[in-house]
Amino acid sequence: MKNKPLLVAVAVLSLVSLVACSSSRKESSKSSSSESSSTSVVKETTESSSKVKEKISDSDQSSEKTKRIGSADYGYVSIPSDWKKYEYVEGGDNIQYIDQSGTNAIILNAANREKANVDEGEEFSAEMMAQRFESAMNGKNKVVKVSRSSVTVGGNEAIQVNMSLKSGNYTILWTFQKDDKVYMISCVCDEKTIAQLTTYVKNTWSFDGTGAVTD
């Protein structure tokens, strides 16, 4: 039987794939209401966001063993070596790994205009994908607080969406555009792991798949 933390993680796993392939028409009908609700939440979470950033900046670069995961389509990132690939049918075409406790997960995906079902003449951007993710998460009624920041992931300017969940865990989405694709990396973490994974994502994402594993 799956534990509760695992159920929270897999719920986000499925959303990332849905965001990458969802219809922009559906999102546009929700955007005005979800955007206003997200804006009010952001204003309330400035202090919380600062605390998370402080934890991230104060975290030490762990000497823990890592492994390289990802693909040429989604890019590669380093994660703890004991994490395992997680096969979840509703995760679609995500690349997704989860730790042994089932509490922490990381998801990689990417989309071009066609895959994301963006209408011709409509702007395709990282901002669009961030809005889709926020809307999808809010629709699941799992989010307590939301904040955003501008960060760098593997040398690319990215949007970071921070979410505190009702489960007590956290979800972060990093999304950025490179050429004709928007790349998405998301994690579901407990408080202990959030800083570690954030460091890995920001510092190790690239197209270098040297030594990458598939398990």
pLDDT digits (tens, 9 = 90+) for 149-195: 999 999 999 999 999 988 888 999 999 999 999 999 999 999 999 99
pLDDT in tens, 81-111: 999 998 766 657 889 999 998 889 999 999 9
Please state, in angstroms and rounded to a whole number, the distance separating the CA atoms of residues 152 and 207. Answer: 15
Tell me the average pLDDT of the chain: 79
Which residue type, as a one-letter code, is found at position 56? Answer: I
Positions of E strands within 61-169: 66-71, 75-80, 84-85, 95-98, 105-112, 143-153, 156-165
| 179, part of any domain | yes
Q: Does residue 87 fall inside a structural domain?
A: yes
- Who has greater pLDDT, 178 or 43? 178
Q: Residue 56 maps to which CATH number?
A: 3.40.1000.10
Residue 214 placed within a domain:
no
Residue 212 resides in a domain: no
Domain holding 151, by residue range, is 4-204
- Is residue 197, in this structure, part of any structural domain at all? yes
> Is residue 116, in this structure, part of any structural domain at all?
yes
In a domain, 211, yes or no: no
Q: What is the tens place of the pLDDT at every residue in 55-66? A: 434 444 446 799
Query: What is the tally of structural domains in the chain?
Result: 1
215 found inside a domain = no
Q: What is the value of pTM for the model shown? A: 0.78
Long-range residue pairs from 30-34, CB within 8 A, at least 24 positions apart, any chain:
30/135, 30/139, 31/131, 31/135, 34/131, 34/134, 34/135, 34/138, 34/139
